Amino acid sequence: MGKLIPLVELKEGEEGIIVGIHGGHGLRRNLEGLGVAPGRKVKMISKHFRAGPVVISVVGTQVAMGYGMARKILVQPLPKSSAAG
């Protein structure tokens, strides 16, 4: 398995696979209700340095969350696509 990083460390346009959520049952349940769950592919849409909101795309939907919440989501970054067009 490659390097794991908090979701907030993905750069805009980068993708990763969610591998874990560090938080209580309520946080995990709320995120899973939004489609944010282990095994899902996410793409960073936008973020602000050390502040929210963080906007990601997951299962075809854009989801906004606070920076602190996004820090609790661990992802494995995917290699950048070399496909042109």
* Spatial CA neighbour of 70 closest among 30, 25, 79, 60: 30
Mean pLDDT calculated for residue range 71-79: 96
Q: What percent of the chain has pLDDT over 90?
A: 79
Position 15 confidence tier, pLDDT thresholds 50, 70, 90: very high
- What is the spatial distance between Cα 69 and Cα 24, in angstroms, rounded to a whole number? 11
Mean pLDDT calculated for residue range 16-39: 93
Mean pLDDT calculated for residue range 57-82: 91
Position 49 confidence tier, pLDDT thresholds 50, 70, 90: confident
Instruction: Take residue 48 and report the two structure tokens written for it.
Output: 């602000």
Q: Which distant-in-sequence residues (6+ apart) come within 8 Å of 70 by Cβ? A: 6, 7, 8, 47, 52, 54, 56
Which of the following CATH numbers is that of domain 5-77: 2.40.30.10, 3.40.50.10420, 3.40.50.300, 2.30.30.90? 2.30.30.90
Say how many C-beta atoms besides its own lie within 10 A of residue 21's C-beta: 20
pLDDT value at residue 51: 76
Q: Tell me what the pLDDT averaged over the chain comes to.
A: 90
